[in-house]
A and B are shown apart, each in its own frame.
Chain A
């Protein structure tokens, strides 16, 4: 039996029916990582084989005794290297944290462990989650499984590539402005950013605290729903996590399977989405998805989000301002890289941060520091907060008329490695469709909707009201079934090798 590309739900059924063991699944995943990761560079750390197998056997024993801790118990998973773990270093893709080992586990790591998932390692990312291509990793870029000369998107490119190439069925990323949805789109997998406050950020190394949200990747909508069920919920250690009860997300999908997920659902398509820079093939995929949704009983109408054009400027002021503060702690004093200690305190600060941070991180720290500076605060950070509120209200108004908003996830399919690194502004445009959901704290999902003529995946994004994940997942599940674009396998990584 080969397990590559098998969905988490299918593996869970295999395990429940005794057709497979966690030990075999985990062993196969480790083999596949060992065979393919040299080409992909999706992983920054991989579990010790014996330790991982020991945990898999433990899960097999628990299941045999009738005590499997969750439906996904025994299934392997990878997580982005910005969630702290005692078992692995946590580098955030940065030289400044190279070799850093946290003394505690992130809340999601605890939840995954409690649910019996087997953590196989940490995935590559843009340094401190700043980027849209995973090229900003201090440890080298991750490659897109569909074309190794292209980027997987970012910043959670390692997690997206790992799921796309069938290394693991599930992975976690973090989404601050699209860092899960955009790579999901570019790699042809499903990525769900939950509502802000849905998943505890305790142990997620902060990039922009008011925007960051831990987010699952999988090969199907149902799988992300199952994984969200495990990681969602209030955590007393994160004051921004919310009390809203966690529904059985996957249960909502059962009804959706036969088409109910779209019947009578009102879908809005923002006029502001169709702007210069939107690739015609991507636009065509979105139009097709709308047609499919209409055919399945949804109504589609135009909506307006008039402040959307200010989204990028707003985002890059708020995110960089918060980042400039969040990254101040990397100073060579307590942990991580220390350079120039002999040159006095200021010398050490300067040398450590100069050598420890990459160009994009420095650019954003500078921008954010400036945005918060005395005399500029009101014009930049203050105004950005005001526009953020307007964008939030634009969505609230739109959601009075429609249940969901649909559009492109990314303006283009995967671009070539190096294509945009010299031009940060062009790179920032990669997130034009995704970052409004972070600003407005909405849940959003990217599901595969087809491929370009060159064979590159194209995703569509669906957004919903805060904490309306059940409706979002049900509609996405129904649309996924009709688009028949999910679960595609990049030819370079066949399932039986």
Chain B
């Protein structure tokens, strides 16, 4: 925004999340991603004449679990509705969704409950400081549509893959409580995390398991009336949400600042070019002619089902972070990193327990440093997640014990961990096999020191002349000569003696 922040944005999000069911919402076809086009279909999801939908109860259970995790009230009775529009990848000519009577209403989620460093960057604007509640208007169940392809050079020919038709989705709609692109990005990140923790959705935005549409308007700062909003569809990454909103807020601000009026329209985000392209204006807006789906009876959810879903809820990320901070003395930032996924948090806590059954704060901090540092670095280098890490949580504990016993140096331990992961072997085996055992044998170290002194006459002379900084370089040379296995304290002592003597 230009100059003083004379304008503020009002943002609401609609997130579509694919439920982690094995089969589709209204038929028994698999939901697997990436199968050959039009291979995971049947008369029901193809909408063939005469076919009828039958609701997948597991999809309902997952949607209820998500609703509870987001503090929504689950309605005892909700109604499926048809959303009518013509499109080639919508084989029935309508999408089965929920409209006037959704599965759940009136929830909230907190953002800003962890320190800076989330992938959206440091908190700013409305998300700075205290945690902030974003109200959630509603959550409902619906089916996905298929996918159209317009191959380049294909003329006016289009291809349609209907595998995704009938894949179960929940749509989660916020109230217009967000004010900044970063806040919106953080909301999506927190939401993704909750859906992953509760095993409702795999959160894979690249494969379209989580998709965002945003509604945004701009108004003079301090105004209470809402400005004219636009909707941006197809924001399929957190970066896209932030970038799309930034671009659109800037555009609307320019229009308003120039005395113009924002036109209500729907825009499509082009992630490659980072621009929002107009899709349709208000005049062209669809009249979806929603009406209750006569093929499905009302969805009745009993208190027992809600209770069952409640019991299936794991500890949610925010609660887990709070506990890690309180019980282990971690910083909010560290707790945030370690709870990025439920699997990582589970891994971390298992490693702490294996290392120190009493789970003392010191042990927890020590394990945290290793998991956050070396473990995540190895995972990042291999572009893997914790599920693909070959070192068990108890392996981390074993490695730390070797360190504690002085059998391996801190530097060498990193190599040991890498080998444990690469070869799938235990800490001791990796240490022995890689020659990482710490050398505390004075004779061996003296020989190494002698050689370093002989090969580095200039630095030695500098140390003797009082340049202490160069001493550290020489210690490094000793460590290098022993491939990191030298006992650092002993090596330092012998090096000091060696330089002083000659």
Interface of A with B (CB < 8 Å)? Answer: 82-84, 90, 92, 97, 100, 102-104, 106, 201-206, 208-210, 236-240, 321-322, 324-325, 327-329, 331, 333-335, 344-345, 349, 369, 372-374, 377, 381
Contact = CB atoms under 8 A, between A and B. Distances in A.
Main secondary structure of the interface of A (DSSP, over half): loop
A138 to B, nearest CB: 15
Nearest to A204: B50
A334 B91 contact: yes
Nearest to A202: B52
Given A206-B50, A377-B291, 14 more contacts: A202-B51, A203-B51, A209-B294, A209-B295, A237-B52, A238-B52, A239-B296, A240-B296, A325-B289, A325-B291, A331-B88, A333-B88, A335-B48, A372-B290
Contacts of A238: 52, 54
6 contacts: A100-B49, A102-B48, A104-B48, A106-B50, A208-B294, A238-B52
Of the candidates A97, A204, A333, A344, the one having the most CB atoms from chain B within 10 angstroms of its own CB is: A333
B53 A239 contact: yes
Interface in B55-99: 55, 82, 84, 86, 88, 91-94
A323 to B, nearest CB: 11
A369 B287 CA distance: 10
A36 B161 CA distance: 47
A103 B48 contact: yes
A204 B295 CA distance: 12
B291 A344 contact: no
Contacts of A377: 289, 291
B50 A239 contact: no
B49 A372 contact: no
A325 B84 contact: yes
Contact of A373 (B51, B93, B287, B297): B287
B478 interface: no
A374 B290 CA distance: 9
Contacts, number: 99
Contacts of A205: 49-50
B30 interface: no
A322 B81 CA distance: 12
B46 interface: yes
B297 A239 contact: yes
Interface string B279-292: 00000000101110
Of the candidates A90, A203, A349, the one having the most CB atoms from chain B within 10 angstroms of its own CB is: A203
A345 B287 contact: no
Interface in B269-328: 287, 289-291, 294-297
A345 B148 CA distance: 13
A203 B46 contact: no
A325 B80 CA distance: 14
Given A240-B297, A333-B88, A373-B287, A102 B50 contact: yes
Contact of A210 (B88, B290, B294): B294
B218 to A, nearest CB: 27
Contact of A239 (B48, B49, B52, B84): B52
A344 B156 contact: yes
A104 B295 CA distance: 19
A209 B293 CA distance: 9
A206 B49 CA distance: 7
A322 B297 CA distance: 15
Nearest to A381: B291
B160 interface: yes
A236 B442 CA distance: 80
Interface string B20-58: 000000000000000000000001001111111111000
Contacts of B86: 328, 331, 349
Nearest to B285: A374
A334 B94 contact: no
Q: 9 closest pairs, A vs B, by CB?
A: A328-B93, A210-B294, A372-B289, A209-B294, A203-B50, A205-B49, A84-B50, A374-B287, A329-B93
Nearest to A372: B289
A325 B93 CA distance: 7
A322 B46 contact: no
Contacts of B295: 206, 209, 239-240
A102 to B, nearest CB: 7
A351 to B, nearest CB: 14
Contacts of A100: 49
A413 B339 CA distance: 77
Nearest to A100: B49
Contacts of B297: 239-240
A374 B289 contact: yes
B292 to A, nearest CB: 8
Nearest to A235: B52
B54 A236 contact: yes
A346 B270 CA distance: 24
A237 B52 CA distance: 7
Of the candidates A97, A236, A237, the one having the most CB atoms from chain B within 10 angstroms of its own CB is: A237
